Structure 1
């Protein structure tokens, strides 16, 4: 009787011992993950990866950890490792749209368009604005401009990034007349107000194609007032004045550009 009790207590003690060890390891994994996230937010990706690796060695089946590791590898342009860890995350959470979007984007950027399209199919919402945008960009790369336009026209333009909108404008330019192009160019000015690259594009197009010098001037001056002097903006502004025939203003603007280059 006593022997049986002794063995029973021994077993319980052993179970409790292993449970405490497991709990300690779990905490260490969580702390390493949190440290890694903090380092990642501070821009120390190498330090973050070391912490993530420590956490992964203890508790590899953590979706958040797997996504964080994939993100770091992606930023190191180690796409094979990024794909490996995103796939592991999908094994644990097959419909994680964040992972699906990231993998879709990676495949698109690598030119693996079919993989990107197959990945989109696994989403709960394959017709979201984000995925329609990727589909449109793929059709554009394949020179299927009408299909690309169909996809991009379904998107709320407020959800488009500036680069995609510039592609959209190029498609409109290829498929439609100047009136439609002008309309979409104007819409973009509202959507990307204060964005340097779009301001430059707008000023060039509105000047060269439509000879609307006043609108170009107002867009460029608006940027300078909001953001401060910028050499690229000043160069285009000088060019706009030259195109409009106002040579004096063109020279004055160039003088501003030259003064910007002088040492303080």
Structure 2
């Protein structure tokens, strides 16, 4: 493909103007990038005009006139449908931050490669109001050359944003692992715990104070867990997995006796029971990794 970057009108075009897409477009414009926006419903893109964003109704024009295209369309399939008819990708880099799987990220990389389009896959791990702030976090993976060319623009999404790998699947893997498997379940478990404690008469300040102390301990334990899993070393002289299992079983009985479903705690007990049955009870808690895989 010929490089026509010099003829581009916009530094970046955002496709999809839902809450996150609109936040991205406003932020790029606020950070001094010449920004365009496209949406299936033109009114949503037009609503961004007062924020310095140029609405474009034609998808071909949006791609053709922009150095960088950030697709923020609900799913990868929906984004593929939107971009299917675009023929002129000369001098344009594509970033996809919609919701998809690692396999779909690899498919998108191949799709872009067939068209000679530099590609980065993205995973947004923050809320729209955090875009462009110290809490902003968007992970990117894929073409290192594309990252070098557009790093300043893409880093404008947040102080914690970063290229995590040259493998396009990596951002999606981290999204599934950190957000799907950890953050949301952990927050759900915390809701269960807080609901139970407050219903039993614990005052919020007391629960918050204890939580703060445990969060600090958790930060240390999280690093230890990754080291143990990576090395497959789970011996301990501190607290065996069976001790955790016994305590969790007792806690589950108490919560259920007072009318609580305790679904997250129940799932934890099931994992611990399985690990004990498999003979890992005398190892450390992180030996749960041995029953985490299907057929493990």
TM-score (norm 2): 0.29
> Which structure is higher in RCO with an 8 Å CA cutoff and minimum separation 6?
2
TM-score (norm 1): 0.32
Which structure has the highest helix share of the two?
A: 1
Higher-Rg member (1/2) = 1
Which structure has the highest strand share of the two?
A: 2
